[in-house]
Structure 1
Amino acid sequence: MAYQQPLCKWRFHFGHPRVMVLILLYFFNIVAGQIRYSIPEEMKKGSLIGNVAQDLGLDLKRLRSGRARIVTGENLQYTELKTDKGILVVNERIDREQLCGDVTPCSFSFEIILETPMELHHITIEVLDVNDHPPVFKKSDIMLDISESANLGARFVLDSAEDPDVGVNGLQNYVLSSNDNFVLKQHVNPDGSKYAEMVLQKQLDRERAPHLSLKLIAVDGGNPQRSGTVNINIKVLDVNDNAPVFNQSMYKATVIENAVKGTHIVTVNATDADSGSNGYITYSISNVRSNIADLLSIDQVSGILSVSGPIDFEKDKKYELRIDAKDEGGLTDSSKVMIEVTDVNDNAPTISVMSFTSPVSEDSPPGTTIGIINVKDLDSGENGQVICRIQQDAPFKIKSNLRNYYTLITDTVLDREKVSEYNITVVATDAGTPPLSTKRTFYLKVS
């Protein structure tokens, strides 16, 4: 998901063994700091993350008097602030794969807010991967029908394994069991995922060996190393001289997010010089990742690739997959398909209240802070650019503050005898076409 960054941000750095701290920023009476911690996933509840009081230079009395608390918005609160000790501990089990999938580095952020005076500290937790998953094949068996007349050098793409771990803990290599007929070649997709294919190096002889049984092993690079295995069952067929051939080695297409089910994306096409059943071609999506399997489908006869599930630009900006063409004799060819997802403005901005003070004294000077709000928009580009304003004519104004935070302040001296209460409506509007808006009304009493 993408959201709009702030209009400006100032950064100052100094060192620390585990943490990077930004020097406190005074802006509109708000103190702001930033800390980054790195922890392994799957830590036990209550495990220490870091001493935030020490790292931010805060006194424990200040944490209590300022009613220090964590603000996470709609996110699950993975951490807990122990104000009596000034430390941050694990509150809920953190599964890196569930939190970030294959995105790396993996992190989540939240704010610690204090009051009187207002302080806002941004905390980022980087979650490090541990090797807690083995490579796994979707099926226990791969069934191949291969003609005994298949040419030397014929390629047979094999199902890929999936490993939700990342980096060295992820899938590193494939190994094919020892045999006389095939060697294994490994390839890397543009997105970094690996797949393997068998290459025929010695002619098959159906009369001598009508069936072959091999094993494909996927291994990761963790310590200890984990692996997964799939059986390859080969049925040797008679006489199929030609493999299918795609008319393009790569297809490129675009699809708009929220496209309805059945929307045509692209049509692939392969031909086979054989006649009869040996020249009959069927199409399938090869080694598709789990997050794509429910979104795209292909007609096995026509080769039409279409939408079969919800396309969301905020989740995936592009899809890369391979299409297999297979004839009745078991020979195959494959082609890459690259699909770019086009963003639409389908997310309105959200307004979250961090702090609001009411009543406010009529003798408060202009520029007095009465509220802090957080504004986000999940869209990207212009669709995620947000402008905040006060809807009505009132003695208040709103200013951009830190990142995606805004401060609501008085613009003039208030007079309770003239106006004793206000309904202040804040409007957040994005730059999409058409633009989407969200309103939030604040009731303020003047004392």
Structure 2
Amino acid sequence: MSSPMRGYPRADGRKGIRNVVAVAYLVECAHHVSREIVASARDGDVHLIGFPGCYPNAYAQQMMEKLCTHPNIGAVLLLSLGCESFNKFSLADIVEKSGRPVHTLTIQNDGGSLKTIKAGQAWVQEQLAALRDAPTVPMAVEELIIGTVCGGSDGTSGLTGNPAVGRAFDTLVSAGATCIFEETGELIGCEEIMASRAVTPELGDELRASVAKAATYYATLGYGSFAPGNADGGLSTIEEKSMGAYAKSGSSPISGIVKPGTVPPRGGLYLMDVVPDGEVRYGFPNISDTAEIVELIASGSHMTLFVTGRGSVVGSAIAPVIKVCANPDTYRRMEDDMDVDAGRILEGAASLDEVGAEIFELIQSVAAGAQTKSEALGHREFILTYKSFEPAGPACLPS
């Protein structure tokens, strides 16, 4: 049995399972200085995040606001070059109003790279000392938000890892937790099945529309969410891959659709629509699995369940990643990177229900403070680029 879950209480009523100091660059020109500040605190829970563009859009601004006030964040250092267009004043104000310590350094005003690095290192050390003995409070399963992605999929992903995560999701939803699955570009062909699980007919129509939008986006770009590695791993079509990806949603009713940065209003199962709205203008919508993990975190996910058959090593800044390995051979080769061996199902050593229960127990252990493999290895990948979204309509989040 896992240790009791505990959380760091936040002013907005949420609880974090980690107490991270975030160092956030607001333009690529401040990335190196930020990285040097984080490197000096390698033994502390200091994570590097940021937006590289010189001029943000509404999506990037909102994402940074949501990430810097995520319940796993305890303090925030903002790094500005000084001439970029990112609204650092608004971001700092939002973080301050959330009850977190926040400090902004501007390289052009604070003496250049070396002096800014030194000032940043000092501030981070002060925050680490202040957060070291931060109080925690009990946390219930119903307070968790859990996201899931799959990447480096192969022919085993839809047979073991994804449906095992689906079983864990069903357990979480029945306990009152919030679960978010994605990605609409890998659900092409599954829209009618999803619509049949919607809590209202209107939501069913929105689910169909979200998948149709993804199909149009991919067709316009001339891409598909199907890589050579998927084919090498035994998958043959996007529909086949979609059925595997769909399996990780489990069988609970679908309560709504959220866009990146939207925190679900209550417990239940939600689809995240990650494909930009409007005309096709932002390149390949599935930039990387890391980008989608970041979007799940911006929507409040405390941790992410990542299913892989081929083998992926990424973790994430801010929120832990639990690696569920679908292929037993991959697990044996990459055991140091994998948390759950779902490939045992193929070999008859475990059932879907047993691995689903193992994932559920591991979620509770991680929420109680246990490190995932990617955390222990220091994986803190992060990507944030340009997208554009319209607000979700009322049919997407039925009351």
Q: Answer yes or no: same fold by TM over 0.5.
A: no
* Interval of TM-score (by shorter of Structure 1 and Structure 2): under 0.3
What is the TM-score normalised by the length of structure 2? 0.22
Higher relative contact order (CA 8 A, sep 6+): 2
Higher strand share: 1
Higher helix share: 2
What is the TM-score normalised by the length of structure 1? 0.20
